[in-house]
Chains A and B, each alone.
Chain A
């Protein structure tokens, strides 16, 4: 399966990456090489094999729903690029 320029731009948008033209050119070839290599997984007929999402047989682990100490607003905002009061400040609109 090869990825063309249109798909590349679609995937970049899904990943919220604004790629420059020179990056798109480089990535198109590299991604096709990588996808060709990883497509090898389709050689195996695994219709009856269950998927493994995790190395352990994990079961859900639930916490008691009890209040406990957490980060203060100031700590949580300490690394904010921009802050207004107790909020992270971002440019307006446009989010898809």
Chain B
């Protein structure tokens, strides 16, 4: 009997290598779990048949292009779109024998923090299905925690891997910008988008990252990793220096239960031998949100110009061409992409460019410099990932700005292109609390080491109480 709720990818690999289970049995076990629980959780938008072989199954966020498998980005405008080529990350997974279980739900074009912006209905949090799994990669995060996939890929622009991992109680990495190819990924904001792993353990997360990372000739923003990925082993943190940015830990809106769990985890870091010191990210935290909500919509308005009903995707009926473009985009896009297209187009338009987009790019420099200075002293920075635990469905859907605040703690480091790891650190009100570790550029190995030691020390049970 395979317990998909607890099986890690590492253990699955051991069982497959030693032939204690077959590849077909393993794939079937996940399909049985999906049959049992996905009606309630709605993690998947599309399921795949077992392609055969004995690799570990994996779920993919539906912004990741897959040859011959529908890829919708959670949007009606891409309903029925079937890519004719694989994204580079999918090629790499396949070359390691990994088998695609299916495509997971996402806020439309990865724009959102709850999956409620998906054109195909929201996903639900496995800890409490009346609550959101976070977003935009809520489908991948809920699938991993709900035992519907051993691990998954997500994508992160301002928090779409880390925040759902925090709300679902698993491990998610937003990699250093440029370490994972964006070729074949549905673009949202190209200077921010990064694909990354979601897993049950830090070691699984590191292993999956090692598979997908590295230079790709088809994405000229990618680089080779300066050091290979190290699977973490050590259970102590001697010699590591961890900074606690005051503003990221005391921001308005952080729930007391979240603060308590994170403070307890920070005390653990010290017990494990890390040097912990307070520091400041005042400008990044204060100006990160407004900076992000200019740059990301500006890039999105440009990237989403391609959805015009001409070459692929939805086309509205119209007698002449301009009408066809405008009607296709009105009927095909949901409210959130429209809001961002409008904000971005405005911020880039004549007369406003310098005051909005140009100024935001300068703020981005300030944010980058403020982070860089801290990494002269620290190996990693620690804070909550999300100010709150998973919130009820519908709680923030009427107020776009309230939804945007879900990412207030993850956005600053994204603007600086830095890696961030979410590790579960406890419960508040019976729901998972996520701890965010941010590192310098290419600092993933230190994040894995800290995350692994902390995971061992805390002993967080990743299986939701109601499913145990």
Contacts and interface: CB of A to CB of B under 8 A. Distances in A.
B361 A51 contact: yes
Interface in A9-64: 11-12, 14-20, 23, 26-27, 30-31, 33-35, 37-42, 44, 46, 49-56, 58, 61, 63
B240 interface: no
A92 B321 contact: yes
A42 to B, nearest CB: 6
Contact of B342 (A17, A38, A58): A17
A79 B364 contact: no
B400 to A, nearest CB: 6
Interface in B421-448: 441
A71 to B, nearest CB: 6
A46 B290 contact: no
Interface size class of A (residues with CB under 8 A): 35 or more
B189 to A, nearest CB: 12
Contacts of B39: none
Contact of A14 (B84, B220, B349, B361): B349
Contact of A27 (B324, B339, B441): B339
Nearest to B192: A55
B293 A38 contact: yes
Contacts of B293: 34, 37-38
Contacts of B359: 41-42, 44, 46
Contacts of B417: 54-56
A77 to B, nearest CB: 8
A75 B84 contact: yes
Contacts of A56: 177-178, 221, 223, 417
A57 to B, nearest CB: 11
Nearest to B368: A52
A19 B341 CA distance: 12
A96 B342 contact: no
B320 A94 contact: yes
Given A53-B191, A56-B177, A40 B290 contact: yes
A13 B191 CA distance: 26
Nearest to A95: B321
A79 B311 contact: yes
A61 B329 contact: no
8 contacts: A31-B346, A37-B289, A38-B356, A51-B365, A52-B368, A79-B80, A79-B311, A81-B310
Interface of A: 1, 3, 7-8, 11-12, 14-20, 23, 26-27, 30-31, 33-35, 37-42, 44, 46, 49-56, 58, 61, 63, 71, 75-76, 78-82, 88, 90-96
Interface of B: 80-82, 84-85, 177-178, 191, 217, 220-221, 223, 283, 286-287, 289-291, 293-294, 301, 305, 308-315, 318-327, 329-330, 333, 335, 338-339, 341-343, 345-347, 349, 352, 355-356, 358-366, 368, 400-401, 416-418, 441
